[in-house]
């Protein structure tokens, strides 16, 4: 079995060497209620074009560790290992320790904080900004890491303890700054080692002081190729913005993932080929590039220990 799109890019030998061993922590292959260009098996075969080491497949709506198990016969001979996890949105009961325990017991490697069910996300997408919508009403509502008294909820405490015990990745999802600070602070206190802040300048709009605090807890800062690729409708920022972020945070704490796989968008691998070359052309070194796409990502997925 192969998955090679007619419009697939071919990296130069020099770029192929930089990309070899990439770990994509943000692949939106299917199944999903959102339209997808590829499924997880396709993603595995496509990843072989650049020697991907692993892929973490993300759904806003369901436990993707279950997907991986359901596809295990097809993935057994596939070239790139695929891992799943669970996002704490309404569809799984929000900040639900039972959903987290189930995903971890099924081999999940990541727990995403609330994304499409975060109040910050809901507020950002109350207008027609091109964010895709699934067919049919999903009856989502805002999920919080706080209880009715305004304290960190008992469910949030337990979720972070389960993540710490399993030593898997926890992300802040699309939480607002105050919620994100409380979530990651709680996770750090409870022993979570692998933590990630998503696209701080898109949807979550994380203040600089919160980013600094999260870095102090050991979190990494993620940026997505999709935001800078001309083949994606929005936000399509200039590559210099990503260069500035890398220099601001430092490659040792920066993660670059695809956030691709959606129907109508470039393939994740093509995103790496195009944007990584752009970053190299703008002065990011090959060593720093590999730190951000290979080593930091492998650490967060539990494939190796940090070399910091």
Find all residues with CB under 8 Å of 58, minimum gap 6, and list them: 26, 27, 28, 64, 85, 87, 110, 112
Q: Looking at the predicted structure, is the pLDDT value of residue 129 above 90? A: no
**258-295 pLDDT, tens per residue?**
999 999 999 999 999 999 999 999 999 999 999 999 99
Per-residue pLDDT at 20: 98
Q: What is the mean pLDDT of the chain?
A: 93
Helix and strand numbers (H, E) in the chain are 13, 9
* Cα separation, 104 vs 85, whole angstroms: 7
Confidence of residue 135 (pLDDT cuts 50, 70, 90): low
Q: Give the residue among 283, 294, 280 at the shortest CA–CA distance from 252.
A: 294
Copy the structure tokens of residue 2.
Answer: 């192969």
**57-96 pLDDT, tens per residue?**
999 999 999 999 999 999 999 999 999 999 999 999 999 9
**159-168 pLDDT, tens per residue?**
999 999 999 9
* Cα separation, 172 vs 25, whole angstroms: 14
Q: Looking at the predicted structure, is the pLDDT value of residue 128 above 70? A: no
What is the fold of 13-126+142-300?
TIM Barrel (3.20.20)
Per-residue pLDDT at 202: 83
- Report the SS3 class of residue 23: strand
DSSP states of 118-183: SHHHHHHTSS-SS----SS--------SB-TTSSBPHHHHHHHHHHHHHT-EEE-TT--HHHHHHH
Question: Domain ranges in the chain?
Answer: 13-126+142-300
Per-residue pLDDT at 131: 56
Q: Looking at the predicted structure, is the pLDDT value of residue 5 above 90? A: no
Name the strands in the sheet holding 169-171, side by side, starting at the edge strand that comes first in the sequence.
85-87, 110-112, 169-171, 194-197, 220-224, 254-257
Q: Taking a C-beta distance cutoff of 8 angstroms, is the pair 252, 215 a contact? A: no
């Amino acid at each position: 079995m192969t998955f090679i799109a007619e419009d697939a890019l071919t990296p130069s030998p020099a770029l192929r060497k930089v990309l070899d061993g990439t770990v994509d922590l943000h692949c939106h292959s299917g199944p999903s209620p959102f339209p997808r260009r590829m499924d997880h098996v396709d993603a595995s075969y496509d990843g072989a074009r650049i020697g991907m080491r692993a892929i973490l497949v993300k759904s806003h709506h369901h436990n993707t560790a279950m997907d991986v198990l359901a596809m295990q016969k097809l993935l057994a001979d596939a070239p790139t290992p695929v891992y799943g996890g669970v996002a704490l949105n309404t569809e799984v009961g929000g900040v639900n320790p039972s959903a987290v325990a189930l995903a971890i017991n099924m081999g999940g490697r990541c727990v995403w904080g609330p994304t499409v069910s975060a109040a910050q996300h809901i507020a950002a997408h109350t207008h027609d900004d091109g964010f895709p919508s699934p067919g049919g009403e999903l009856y989502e509502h805002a999920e919080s890491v706080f209880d009715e008294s305004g304290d960190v909820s008992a469910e949030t405490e337990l979720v972070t303890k389960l993540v710490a015990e399993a030593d898997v990745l926890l992300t802040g999802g699309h939480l607002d700054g105050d919620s994100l600070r409380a979530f990651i602070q709680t996770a750090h206190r409870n022993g979570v080692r692998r933590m990630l802040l998503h696209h701080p300048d898109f949807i979550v709009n994380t203040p600089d002081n919160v980013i600094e605090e999260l870095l102090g807890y050991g979190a990494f800062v993620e940026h997505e190729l999709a935001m800078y690729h001309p083949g994606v409708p929005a936000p399509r920022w200039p590559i210099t913005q990503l260069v500035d972020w890398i220099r601001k945070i430092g490659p040792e704490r920066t993660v670059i993932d695809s956030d691709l796989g959606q129907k109508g968008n470039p393939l994740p691998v093509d995103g790496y080929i195009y944007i990584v070359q752009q970053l190299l052309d703008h002065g990011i070194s090959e060593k720093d590039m590999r730190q951000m796409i290979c080593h930091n990502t492998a650490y967060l997925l539990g494939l190796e220990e940090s070399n910091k």
